[in-house]
Amino acid sequence: MKFFICYFCYVAGCKSDSECPLVHACINRECQDPCPFEQCGINAECSVRNHRPKCTCLPDHIGNPYERCRRPECLTDPDCSTTLTCRNEKCVDPCDCARYADCTPRNHRGICICQPGYTGDPYGIACTPVPPPPDPGCKEDRECPSKQACIDRECVNPCKAIQPCANNAKCQVHSTLPLRTMSCTCLPGYTGKGDVRCDRIIEPEPVGCSSDSECSSSEACRDRRCINPCIIDKPCSPSAICSVANHKSQCSCPPGFEGDPYRQCTKIKKGECQHDIECPDNKACIENQCLDPCDLNQPCGKGAVCRTTAHRPVCRCPPNWAGNPHEECFQYECQVDDDCPFTKACVSNECIDPCDRIICGSRAECKAEAHRAICFCPLGTQGNPLVSCTEAGCSSNADCSSTEKCDYLTSSSSKKECQPLCVGNPCAPRASCTAQNHREICTCNYPLQGDGYVSCIEPPKIEEPECRIDADCPSKLACIGETCQNVENSGSEFRRV
């Protein structure tokens, strides 16, 4: 028998991780799964990559896998119901609309719409009220300014709109009521009926004289007419006499007067005076005497004051009085509104009811306050009191309580009314309706899940695994594939002994 001596002996087993598969490590000269030797946190699992164990959080969990992993309420929108959105790992209401805007959560997003009666950007700062409809226009001529008429609900100049006059005629509007009237007048140089026809006036051939020689000696030729030159030229002073000789005017003072007949003829002076200028300013020359004309014949009316100025009696009404001083003066009832009662106005120096001078809209009433007429809609009606008042209802949700909405009762209704919400169970089965801020909010009954408007379903049941780490298993068993197994018989690889 021969014996061989081994000079090179090797220790059984591995020396380094490189001698093992990638999912194993060399531990105690054996290729083993290193995860049982790695302590992971709660809700974490171990995996081997390139001979190294690594702890990671379970799916849908976050945190430190070496201490503790937790399941957040959500990570993405699909983790929440369709009426909620995921923000900062929380399922929250996605509604973030402007003021006066309603929000409807749908598919994890808030759909914003301006409330009825409002317009603008519902995702901005605030929706603004819809401006009232434009004034429908006039109905009668009395609603239009002077010299304008109501045609097709617009105040226009009827002369331009109707054009009632013929050619070469001028149209004029008269501010009559209840209807405006128009008159047609032929233009200068034309004749005829203005609304039918206007014809040009044909000037006649010139006739008459052309020189003084064609007139008598006591006349002169002026503008092709033989006339008295004293009447046209008026060469003499008012007190002189004018005569014509050989077509020329001549002036002379009348008997009893003297002076220059072309300037002034003065009467031969007799008595205290001959003219007013010879008397003081507050007197006049009457029958050759300087007298006050206010003292004679009572020239002024009743209640008037007479003062002589420049030799003439001047009649005036006393201060703060009115009237014709030559007939009668009387005191004003008022001069400004403050002279009248609170419910009257001063018009033409009389205190009258201002409502008598204004026409309010249909079914509107008038009241006088602070000397002014105020049109208003009576109790139970609404609208523009200057146009029309209608039975009151509502114009927007703001006119109703928060649990009501403003809408037409039927499609044929003529006005909107406040109507209660959550009537007739508008929500999905097994959901509850709550009226809030003029809208219906549907919520699934606990513990159901869903949007509440379409459906409510039972929440999914989550089955917990038998184990996540070795500590969850009994002694001598290890957690493999979320089940507790005997390591010695856990697969194709066995522990070497």
Averaged over 286-309, what is the pLDDT?
85
Q: How high is the pLDDT of residue 46?
A: 92
Residue 388 has pLDDT above 90, yes or no: no
Instruction: For 156-170, write each residue's pLDDT tens digit.
Output: 999 999 999 999 999
pLDDT confidence band for 491 (50 / 70 / 90): very low
pLDDT digits (tens, 9 = 90+) for 393-412: 787 888 888 888 888 777 77
- Residue 480: its H or E element: strand 477-480
E strand or H helix at 112, and its extent? strand 109-114
Report the length, in residues, of the chain: 497
Instruction: Supply the pLDDT for residue 339.
Output: 83
Closest Cα partner for 275 from 289, 296, 255, 295?
A: 289
- pLDDT tens profile 104-119: 998 989 899 999 989 9
The confidence score (pLDDT) of residue 129 equals 92
Output DSSP code: residue 76. S
Q: Looking at 321-393, which runs of residues are DSSP E strands?
A: 321-324, 328-331, 345-347, 350-352, 365-369, 372-376, 381-384, 388-391
Between 398 and 267, the more confident residue is 398
- Host H or E run for residue 229: helix 229-233
Confidence of residue 60 (pLDDT cuts 50, 70, 90): confident
CA distance readout (Å), 416 to 148, 380, 387, 392: 37, 14, 20, 9
pLDDT attached to residue 427: 92
* Pairwise CA distance, residues 318 & 301, whole Å: 12
Element (DSSP H or E) covering residue 86: strand 85-87
* pTM for this entry: 0.25
For residue 425 the two structure tokens come to: 């169970």
The CA–CA distances, whole Å, from 398 to 99, 122, 211, 367, 407 equal 13, 17, 95, 29, 12
Q: What is the mean pLDDT of residues 232-257?
A: 86
Residue 360: how many CB atoms within 10 A of its CB? 20
- How does the average pLDDT of the chain come out, rounded? 85
Using the predicted structure, report yes or no on whether residue 495 has a pLDDT greater than 50.
Answer: no
For the segment 61-73, what is each residue's pLDDT rounded down to a tens digit?
888 999 899 888 8
Q: Binning pLDDT at 50, 70 and 90, where does residue 9 land?
A: low
Tens of pLDDT, residues 300-311: 888 889 999 998
The answer to whether residue 486 scores a pLDDT higher than 70 is: yes
pLDDT tier at 414 (50, 70, 90 boundaries)? low
| Confidence band of 494 (pLDDT split at 50, 70, 90) | very low
Q: Which of 87-96, 232-241, 323-332, 446-455 has the lowest mean pLDDT?
A: 323-332
Residue 372: which pLDDT band, with cuts at 50, 70 and 90? very high
What is the C-alpha to C-alpha distance for residues 68 and 319, in angstroms, rounded to an integer? 104
Q: Looking at residue 128, what is its pLDDT?
A: 92
For residues 286 and 281, the model is more confident at 281
3-state secondary structure of 232: helix
List Cβ neighbours of 123 (8 Å cut-off, separation of 6 or more).
Answer: 96, 97, 98, 101, 112
> Does 230 or 269 have the greater pLDDT score?
230
Residue 59: partners with Cβ closer than 8 Å, 6 or more residues away: none
Q: Tell me: the pLDDT tens digits for 207-224?
A: 778 888 888 888 888 888
Q: Percent of the chain at pLDDT above 90?
A: 22
Percent of the chain with pLDDT over 70: 94
Mean pLDDT on 255-263: 82
Q: Say yes or no to pLDDT of 493 above 50.
A: no
Measured CA to CA, the distance from residue 140 to residue 362 in angstroms comes to 13
Instruction: Summarize the confidence of residues 159-182 as an average pLDDT.
Output: 91
pLDDT tens-digit map of 47-56: 988 889 999 9
Q: Tell me, what's the pLDDT at 11?
A: 62
Instruction: Residue 361: name the closest of 177, 143, 154, 144 by CA.
Output: 143
The residues pairing with 439 across neighbouring beta strands, listed in sequence order, are 436
Q: Given pLDDT bands bounded at 50, 70 and 90, which one contains residue 497? A: very low
